[in-house]
Structure 1
Amino acid sequence: MNKLLSICLIIALFFGCKNYSISYFDQDPPSSIPKLFAPSIVNTDNIELNVVFNYDHTEMFFSRIVDNSFVIHHSELINGKWSNIKPIKMYDHNVLVSVACDPTITKDGKTMYFLGVDPKLHKNDVTRKELYTIPPDIYMSKKVDGKWELATKVDFSVSSEYVETYPVVTADGSLYFRSNRPSDEGGMHTYRAQYLGNEKFEAPVLIPTKTEKNELITYVSPDERYAITNGHGKFQITFNDNGEWTKPKEVPLKYESNWHYYCPYMSSDGKYFIYSRRFNKPEKKGWAGVEKGEVYWVKADVLFNTK
């Protein structure tokens, strides 16, 4: 049985017991040709990135840059209708410029992990350029009585003094993320931290990937059967073969020059691949020079039909 058929059967068995139709924020699903997700609603003249749904597709999240801050926004499906999009307040009211992006939601929908920057490390009048130079960490917010609480930093074994980015939570609550913490290989690598319960994790373990250009895992499926890497402006897919990740194969999209492709994710039912891209003028690099940010989605076949 090939990998595509196996994954399709797993998805069918995993989601077949659900007795409700899935809503993708009332958007008509895309074909094999990528299209903007929720134009003029999610995708606006602002810079937007990383659309994520919770497991039950009853809450949708994305990040938007507002007044130099990365702010996570969301909408909830209530009585069959999506609520108005609203920002989620992750830090204390006296924090005027902040970073909260790359959300990932646990299977029960009650915990969100995201990339954040410690508000105590900068002044309120910090510029957008200065803010992006502060090493990010992984934060956590709990949903209590229907409301997302102020965030706290994940325990020290995950959020260290080094850079941590791209958190992705698996079905059992474990976390994959990137970090440049010291290792024998040096540089940035993918790590996995086994969840122990009670908001605690085992010491993160480095996950080797068979890449030639240091493409790192940026998304992993909830069952950890496949992962998506990105580096050098393109996505790749890799499969978990008895505990070892196979050599990544490029995802065949139409990659445009001067656009940076990042934040790969999947709809919770595994049917659609969602990704972000941002535009920089050639003479500018990094987030400080980003002029446009968009979120696209496409049928997941584009991932599994790679040659």
Structure 2
Amino acid sequence: MSVAFLSCRNNTTSYFDQAPPSQTPKLFAPAIVNTDSIELNVVFNATHTEMFFSRIVDNSFVIHHSELINSKWSDVKPLQMYPDSISISVACDPTITKDGNTMYFLGVDPKLYNNDTSPEKLFAIPPDIYMSKKVNGEWGLAKKVEFDISTEYLESYPVVVADGSLYFHSSRPSEKGGRNTYRAQYLGNEKFSTPTIVNVNTEGHELISYVSPDERYAITNGEGKFQITFNSNGEWSAPEEVALDYDKDWRYYCPYMSSDEKYFIFSRRYNNPSKKGWAGVEKGEVYWVNADILFNTK
């Protein structure tokens, strides 16, 4: 199915012909993005001409994609990030550079699965940050972003900002201990500076999971809820809770903003109480809501 779309320069921009949400969250693109499968992390490129999200297919996390062509959104199709020989893989949480030609995402070295296709294996291996390049209009096979972005420890939630720098989570050893948010300055030619911990002014341990392209504000996750923090000359304010009507039986994660910053997009998932981790996830959904809710905190 191809869906009509008006230019993002027009105030009547549509999102797959959906009526825009109010401050009550709505499912994003039912039957197009949200289906009976488990879906998560809808993101757009900066010019709002490509949409990406992840779906679990045959025990693999697969990035899916739709592109605006001649004012119509193309059919949603999976993007191949690994060679044909790979039977199970993880590719999720995509983030796109400002020029639209580089994608970073959470990935796991497929060779480490040793042909074990059980759901329990998903994320049992610490994930890393991977990169795919768009060449001649096609997204190519991915490669791992090497040390010291990816390490032997867990790396997740990559977010690329306007100057190409990366924010991400890592469990690498540090003075603060545990998992922390890091920022790596982009140096050009696919190189980064040594990542440094991003200190958020909080007594808790909220981790930044989204950063605006201009690094003006960020969204954190903590205790199953979203918070917003603001950047003033490199100092991040104490996170304030985003006033959503949270359902305690669901886990909320993957915060993101539409490229026009009008809508806050997030994911939630429901776990079978008797199972832990992704093996117990029975439903995964993506929602969107008017972005004003971010700035009307509790």
Indicate yes or no: 2:250 matched with 1:259: yes
Shift of 1:302: 0.4
CA 1:163/1:274 → structure 2, altered by over 3 Å: closer, same or farther?
same
Q: Residues of 2 paired with 1:129 and 1:284: CA distance?
A: 10
Shift of 1:54: 0.5
Where does residue 182 of structure 1 map in the other structure? 173
1:49-88 equivalence runs, <5 A: 49-88=40-79
- Output the amino acid matched with 1:171: A
1:15-164 equivalence runs, <5 A: 18=9, 22-164=13-155
Where does residue 227 of structure 2 map in the other structure? 236
- Output the amino acid matched with 1:95: I
Shift of 1:156: 1.1
CA 1:23/1:154 → structure 2, altered by over 3 Å: closer, same or farther?
farther
Q: Residues of 2 paired with 1:289 and 1:280: CA distance?
A: 5
Shift of 1:123: 1.6
- Output the amino acid matched with 1:193: A
Where does residue 271 of structure 1 map in the other structure? 262
- Output the amino acid matched with 1:27: Q
Comparing 124-133 with 108-117, which one deviates more in the overlay?
A: 124-133
Q: Residues of 2 paired with 1:187 and 1:241: CA distance?
A: 26
- Other structure's SS at 1:192 match: strand
Equivalent residues of 1:25, 1:60 under 8 A apart = no
Equivalent residues of 1:71, 1:101 under 8 A apart = yes
Equivalent residues of 1:258, 1:281 under 8 A apart = no
Comparing 208-217 with 264-273, which one deviates more in the overlay?
A: 208-217
Q: Percent identity?
A: 73
Q: Residues of 2 paired with 1:40 and 1:221: CA distance?
A: 29
- Output the amino acid matched with 1:306: T
- Other structure's SS at 1:55 match: coil
CA 1:21/1:107 → structure 2, altered by over 3 Å: closer, same or farther?
farther
CA 1:181/1:59 → structure 2, altered by over 3 Å: closer, same or farther?
same
- Other structure's SS at 1:120 match: helix
Comparing 290-299 with 24-33, which one deviates more in the overlay?
A: 24-33
Q: Residues of 2 paired with 1:149 and 1:43: CA distance?
A: 25
Q: Residues of 1 paired with 2:34 and 2:87: CA distance?
A: 24
Q: Residues of 2 paired with 1:282 and 1:294: CA distance?
A: 18
CA 1:255/1:20 → structure 2, altered by over 3 Å: closer, same or farther?
closer
Q: Residues of 2 paired with 1:52 and 1:278: CA distance?
A: 17
Where does residue 205 of structure 1 map in the other structure? 196
Provide, for residues 191-249 of structure 1, a one-character-per-residue CA deviation record: whole Å limited to 9, x for no partner: 00000010110000111112233110000000000000002110000000221100000
Unaligned runs of 5+ in 2: 1-7
Q: Residues of 2 paired with 1:131 and 1:39: CA distance?
A: 26
- Other structure's SS at 1:254 match: coil
Q: Residues of 2 paired with 1:256 and 1:262: CA distance?
A: 13
Shift of 1:125: 3.1
Q: Residues of 1 paired with 2:251 and 2:290: CA distance?
A: 20
2:240 to 238, 243, 249: 249
Q: Residues of 2 paired with 1:38 and 1:97: CA distance?
A: 27
Unaligned runs of 5+ in 1: 1-16
Comparing 281-290 with 42-51, which one deviates more in the overlay?
A: 281-290
Give the length in aligned residue pairs. 291
The normalised TM-score by structure 1 is 0.92
CA 1:125/1:286 → structure 2, altered by over 3 Å: closer, same or farther?
closer
2:210 to 192, 207, 219: 219
Runs of 4+ in 1 over 6 A off after TM superposition: none
- Other structure's SS at 2:88 match: coil
CA 1:44/1:19 → structure 2, altered by over 3 Å: closer, same or farther?
closer
Q: Residues of 1 paired with 2:242 and 2:225: CA distance?
A: 7
Where does residue 6 of structure 1 map in the other structure? none
Shift of 1:19: 6.6
